[in-house]
Amino acid sequence: MSKLWKAKLSAFGVHILFSATIIGIFMALVTQVWFPGLLFQLEDVWEGLRILVPVDAILGPILTLILFVPGKKGLVGDLVIVALLQISALIYGAYTIYDQRPEAIVFAGDRFEILPASKFDKSQLQETEFDIENIPYPLVTFALPAQSKEELAAFIADNVQYQKMSERFRPIEAHREKVL
């Protein structure tokens, strides 16, 4: 094996180890913090990760393997561009997954629904019902259904999904009999 290929494979190996470490840290964040426990499976996070992980773990090292030539003029610039591409892909994918993390598990009608961060407005929670400063993650709550026929008719006419309206959330403990 030539010196060039040994150097290329060495650079590829270092890059793939570094990428695997970053992906490992990211996966720990996703599975332990953003989607703890069963939420990872319930929300089918693997769908997004099936694209993100191979692109981030493989694309950068392959580009390094192709571009790496010891002593090449502009090598540092090439590797910086590869790293920036890889970091950009990771940031975009991480943001997409972060935006879909479950912020609330809402009991509505006859079932629990998971409300992602992109659809949850904490500022609309009733301050008299919740300690706004110490909201657990994810918030497990009860969505107050229509309280009158008129309100129900308005919900239907306007296609209102009350289980997504933070101002209708109440502590689940106070509505345990309706949940069970």
pLDDT digits (tens, 9 = 90+) for 26-47: 999 999 999 998 999 989 898 8
The whole-number pLDDT of residue 121 equals 81
The whole-number pLDDT of residue 72 equals 86
**Euclidean distance between CA atoms 132 and 8, whole angstroms:** 54
The whole-number pLDDT of residue 34 equals 94
The whole-number pLDDT of residue 176 equals 79
The whole-number pLDDT of residue 33 equals 94
The whole-number pLDDT of residue 128 equals 67
Low-confidence ranges of the chain (pLDDT < 70): 128
- Residue listed under structure tokens 């270092």: 14
The whole-number pLDDT of residue 94 equals 94
Tell me the pLDDT tens digit for each residue of 59-69. Answer: 899 999 998 88
- Residue listed under structure tokens 């790293």: 83
The whole-number pLDDT of residue 159 equals 86
For 173, the token pair is 């403990």
**Euclidean distance between CA atoms 1 and 15, whole angstroms:** 20
Q: Positive or negative CA dihedral for 19, 25, 28, 29? A: negative
pTM here is 0.80
